[in-house]
């Protein structure tokens, strides 16, 4: 079973859990019979183990089961970025992108590739995305400029349409104040169709933003995508280049119903660009991500009206955010535990492992649970007691201790 050689080790520290890819069944419900049957099919790729199995063989089976069912664990660095975003306008923030500027420009980049036609909750992903974007735009101050860029809306997912579809990146609403009627008309014309030129869309956004220098413009980009780059570009490299351009944009990325590979790529794009990455699996979650910007826009609008000074920005009340983060970590931990329990049970009842080996796998599951509980408490201890004035110190703590992918 050579495929077992490619299965990564089960993490042993926080950085490993945060950076790992979610399992194939991590975001799926095992109460769904089709999903459970598919899990059993994957587990059945394993040859039956007897009680004479070595510790290494048992460990390999545990790693495989874990790789299939592990949930996505929240990244504390994302929480720090959210605190920065929520503190928009505070002069103590070390990142000047979050200081008040005279002008505010917002661009939404929307994925219209063929996969956005998938149904969820009786709507296509595209319909849900459109509704959330329109709700967000309705809250944008009159003085702000908005833009809508779309890709994937030409051709089909067929190989013969790849070249045309990958080139079809269009700014359907150029930077201007928000006109609901015109914006909605342009939005209605967009239909999911073809490929996913993530890198190309960011390149064109960079060109458009070249007129808006970050010294006197706040430039905010929201990228909504349900998939990975399929047009041979390097979106991680382009995202970093865009973030380092004179426009100095804040790039927030929403992975909408993404699989593990797409999530990993989109997350890397957010990491290298200093933006926030979030996943959304329904309309409420998608709308909540857009609402993050509403508070900052309201503060900017009051500042423009001379009703708010930079010094009036209140210190963060991050207690609720830490509780939410802890709840998300606990949920991922417990769901991973439950799914591992199901996987071990399925291996035993399908004669893939013996009762004694199942007991050993259960012991490994319990040890993993204890480790995740310890890490959870350590994370909370690091996050508590920090306000915006200490955000750079907190960021360094988080990066050094929990994010092995960031070079210091």
User: What's the rounded Cα separation, in Å, for the pair 160 and 163?
Assistant: 8
Of 353, 278, 263, 287, the closest CA to residue 74 belongs to 278
Q: Residue 25: name the closest of 41, 9, 49 by CA.
A: 41
Strands 145-151 and 169-176, bridge-based pairing: antiparallel
> 5: which residues sit within 8 A by CB, 6+ positions away?
none
pLDDT at 314: 47
Q: Do residues 283 and 128 touch, judged by C-beta distance below 8 A? A: yes
Say what the pLDDT of residue 29 is.
Answer: 92
Amino acid 408: pLDDT = 38
Distance from first CA to last CA of the chain, Å, rounded?
Answer: 39
What's the pLDDT at 100?
A: 82
Sorted by sequence, the CB contacts under 8 Å of residue 156 that are 6+ apart come out as 114, 165, 193, 194
Q: What is the structure's pLDDT at 320?
A: 76
User: In this predicted model, what pLDDT tens digit does every residue of 330-379 receive, in sequence order?
Assistant: 999 999 999 999 999 999 999 999 999 999 999 999 999 999 999 999 98
pLDDT in tens, 210-251: 999 999 999 999 999 999 999 999 999 999 999 999 999 999
Whether the full predicted model's pTM is greater than 0.85, yes or no, is no
Q: Write out residues in the chain with pLDDT < 70, as ranges.
A: 306-318, 385-395, 397-399, 401-408
């Amino acid at each position: 079973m050579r495929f077992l050689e490619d299965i990564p080790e089960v993490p042993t520290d926080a950085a490993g859990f945060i950076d790992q890819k979610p399992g194939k069944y991590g975001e799926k419900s095992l109460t769904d019979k089709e999903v459970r049957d598919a899990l059993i099919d994957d587990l059945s790729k394993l040859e039956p183990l007897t009680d004479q199995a070595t510790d290494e063989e048992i460990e390999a089976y545990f790693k495989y089961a874990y790789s299939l069912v592990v949930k996505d664990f929240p990244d504390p660095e994302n929480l720090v970025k959210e605190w920065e975003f929520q503190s928009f306008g505070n002069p103590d923030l070390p990142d000047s992108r979050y200081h008040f500027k005279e002008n505010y420009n917002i661009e939404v980049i929307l994925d219209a590739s063929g996969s956005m036609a998938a149904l969820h909750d009786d709507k296509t992903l595209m319909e849900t995305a459109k509704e959330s974007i329109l709700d967000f735009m309705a809250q944008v101050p009159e003085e702000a400029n908005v833009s809508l860029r779309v890709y994937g809306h030409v051709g089909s997912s067929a190989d013969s349409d790849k070249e045309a579809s990958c080139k079809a990146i269009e700014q359907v609403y150029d930077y201007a104040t928000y006109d609901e009627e015109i914006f909605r008309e342009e939005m209605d014309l967009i239909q999911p169709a073809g490929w996913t030129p993530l890198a190309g869309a960011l390149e064109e956004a960079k060109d458009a933003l070249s007129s808006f220098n970050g010294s006197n413009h706040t430039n905010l980009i929201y990228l909504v995508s349900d998939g990975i780059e399929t047009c041979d570009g390097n979106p991680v490299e382009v995202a970093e280049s865009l973030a380092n351009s004179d426009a100095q944009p804040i790039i927030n990325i929403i992975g909408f119903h993404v699989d593990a590979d797409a999530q990993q790529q989109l997350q890397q794009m957010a990491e290298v660009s200093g933006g926030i990455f979030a996943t959304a699996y329904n309309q409420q979650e998608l709308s909540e991500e857009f609402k993050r910007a509403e508070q900052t826009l309201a503060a900017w609008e009051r500042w423009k009206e001379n009703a708010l000074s930079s010094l009036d920005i209140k210190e963060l009340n991050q207690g609720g955010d830490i509780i939410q983060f802890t709840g998300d970590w606990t949920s991922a931990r417990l769901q991973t535990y439950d799914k591992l329990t199901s996987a071990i049970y399925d291996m035993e009842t399908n004669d893939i492992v013996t009762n004694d080996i199942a007991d050993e796998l259960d012991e490994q599951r319990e040890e993993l649970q204890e480790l995740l509980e310890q890490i959870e408490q350590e994370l909370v201890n690091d996050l508590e007691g920090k306000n915006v004035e200490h955000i750079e110190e907190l960021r360094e703590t988080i990066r050094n201790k929990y994010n092995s992918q960031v070079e210091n």
